[in-house]
Amino acid sequence: MQIHTKIVVLTLSLIALLFPAIAKDAPAPKRLYAEGIPETGFLTLKTEKYTLPIDAASAWTIEKMLFRDHQFGLNNGQYGTVLTPKGGKWWGTGHKEGGREIVHALKLTVDGKAVSIKIDETVSGKRIELIKDSTIWKFKVHVEIVLTDEYIYERTQMEALEECETSTLYYFMHIFPPTTTQWIAQLADGSIERGPLKHAKNMQVNSNTLWTAQFDPAVQLGYLCYTPKIISGPKSVSMIWDLERYHKYYLRQNKGLKFTEGQKLDFTVLVKVVPNETGDWKATQEAAEQIMKQFPTVK
């Protein structure tokens, strides 16, 4: 095998030597993103409490989440926004089944100052903003990720570029560990619901929610996700996929919707880790009240 490999390498080298024009004129790999935007590698955003690696290959979406160096957001799936066209396959983030999300522009700001984007580096500060413009299928997408010591803020705006129809649109996705054992949620009507997580291989919560949280008893942390404007649409739902490999949290905007050209969607989610949660939900409910004051609900 080694002899064969050496022969192939020598043959290619000989071709390049004898026919330099062929080697010189060979087409470069076709770029997927706009010129100057890295297509592979990671950029890590870091504040004192939170660390957020961003994956270039997955259309510059979150790769995992850490709080005080404890990984509470796993990297065995996708974050961000994905959709399926009616009769089609998945588009968005790292999905390739239907087509790729195309990144057109990136902007990085650290503590109010513009910073150049460099792969495989860590940028640290008190407030870090990453802004992305992209296209997912027939939608123009504008994403803002803001990292502070208090929360991870994600806002995604979408606009239909032409008349189209989706089969499913997951607006936000977050991958929490399978060590969480309970969930709690405030529903759209203000009521509170709770339930267990025990790897039941089904979806939990299954309602539109203002906020949802999971409890991880091993580290006494609550994982809170708050949407100032409840994500709503045809068959919209907030749900946790209760599997052995993860407790993945989905915010689905629709399960079948016709869009007119220029129709827009605009939703935000804030992710916050709640220390000293014991499972009685007092710390998490207090954290939810505080973040709701900071980011008031929108009707």
Residue 146 has pLDDT above 90, yes or no: yes
For 293, counting Cβ atoms within 10 Å of its Cβ (0-12 exposed, 13-18 middle, 19+ buried), the class is exposed
Q: What is the pLDDT of residue 25?
A: 57
Residue 99 has pLDDT above 80, yes or no: yes
Q: What is the pLDDT of residue 299?
A: 85
Tell me the C-alpha distance between 249 and 254, whole Å: 15
Tell me the C-alpha distance between 170 and 108, whole Å: 25
Return the beta strands (E) in 177-263 as ranges. Answer: 182-187, 192-196, 202-207, 209-216, 221-226, 237-242, 247-254, 257-259
Q: Which CATH class is domain 40-294?
A: mainly beta
Model confidence at 14, pLDDT cuts 50, 70, 90, reads very low
Candidates 130, 127, 131; CA nearest to 148 is 127
Q: What is the pLDDT of residue 212?
A: 98
Q: What is the pLDDT of residue 179?
A: 98
Residue 193: both structure tokens together: 């619901």
Q: What is the pLDDT of residue 257?
A: 98
Q: What is the gyration radius of the CA atoms in the chain, in angstroms?
A: 22
Q: What is the pLDDT of residue 252?
A: 98
Among 29-33, 229-233, 281-285, whose mean pLDDT is lowest? Answer: 29-33
Residue 143 bridge partners (DSSP): 132, 156
Among 14-28, 198-212, 281-295, whose mean pLDDT is lowest? Answer: 14-28
Report CA-CA distances (Å) from 59 to 11, 28, 72, 170, 252: 37, 21, 21, 16, 20
Query: How distant is the alpha carbon of residue 293 from its chain centre?
Result: 25
Do 92 and 83 contact (CB within 8 A), yes or no? yes
Residue 21 has pLDDT above 70, yes or no: no
Report CA-CA distances (Å) from 210 to 185, 187, 224, 230, 295: 7, 6, 11, 6, 12
Which tens digit of pLDDT belongs to each residue from 71-83? 999 999 999 999 9
Residue 249 has pLDDT above 70, yes or no: yes
Residue 91, classed as helix, strand or coil, is strand
Do 169 and 254 contact (CB within 8 A), yes or no? yes
Residue 30 has pLDDT above 90, yes or no: no
Model confidence at 8, pLDDT cuts 50, 70, 90, reads very low
Residue 64 has pLDDT above 50, yes or no: yes
Residue 182 bridge partners (DSSP): 196, 215
- For the beta sheet containing 139-147, the strands, ordered from the edge strand earlier in sequence to the opposite edge, are 113-115, 102-110, 128-136, 139-147, 152-160, 264-275, 221-226, 209-216, 182-187, 192-196
Q: What is the pLDDT of residue 15?
A: 42
Q: What is the pLDDT of residue 27?
A: 63
Q: Which amino acid is at 75?
A: N
Which tens digit of pLDDT belongs to each residue from 152-175? 999 999 999 999 999 999 999 999
Average pLDDT value for residue range 73-100? 97
Domain boundaries along the sequence of the chain: 40-294
Report CA-CA distances (Å) from 178 to 184, 216, 218: 16, 9, 11
Q: What is the pLDDT of residue 119?
A: 97
Which tens digit of pLDDT belongs to each residue from 205-226? 999 999 999 999 999 999 999 9
Among 12-21, 196-205, 225-234, whose mean pLDDT is lowest? Answer: 12-21
Average pLDDT value for residue range 1-16? 41
State the chain's mean pLDDT as an integer: 93
In the block, residue with structure tokens 């296209």: 135
Q: What is the pLDDT of residue 116?
A: 96
Q: What is the pLDDT of residue 10?
A: 40
